Amino acid sequence: MAFNEKLADRVREIISATHTITEEKKMFSGLCFMVNEKMCVGVEKERLMVRLDPERYDEVMEREGCMPMDFTGKVMKGYVFVDAAALKSKRQLDFWLQLALEFNEKAKSSKKSKK
């Protein structure tokens, strides 16, 4: 199993309830949820990848299950991993998804490559 399918289903349900411009892409050995054509959150193995406001990075690092995103070996401020064990309740998952969705509104989309 490349990623936690149950967690992906929970994420999908919450995001689709309020956002219509979404897309799912398989990447990073997991599933990435794009909102408004911008990377928002992802499910990778047994953890959630959250794109959030870099200004909130230090604050959220203190939360249960949160760890730096070092997918490439370099810590990426503005992205964190949250262990699935810390996302058992809807309220816990909602917290992280709301952080990502709030930032998504002001986040810049990556430049699309021309084919």
- Write the pLDDT tens digit of every residue in 95-114: 999 999 999 999 887 766 54
Residue range 51-74, pLDDT digits in tens? 999 999 999 999 999 999 986 788
Task: Please state which of the four CATH numbers 3.40.50.1950, 3.40.570.10, 3.90.1150.30, 3.30.70.3270 is assigned to the domain occupying 5-106.
Answer: 3.90.1150.30
Residue 14, Cα to own-chain centre: how many angstroms? 12
Residues 6+ apart with CB under 8 A from 34: 22, 23, 24, 25, 40
pTM of the model: 0.89
The CA dihedral of 4, 56, 67, 105, to the nearest 10 degrees, is: 20
Cα distance between residue 30 and residue 46, in whole Å: 10
Q: Determine the pLDDT at residue 112.
A: 60
Confidence of residue 115 (pLDDT cuts 50, 70, 90): very low
Mean pLDDT of 2-25: 92
Tokens of 112: 């699309």
Q: Determine the pLDDT at residue 73.
A: 82
**Do 110 and 39 meet the contact criterion of CB atoms below 8 Å apart?**
yes
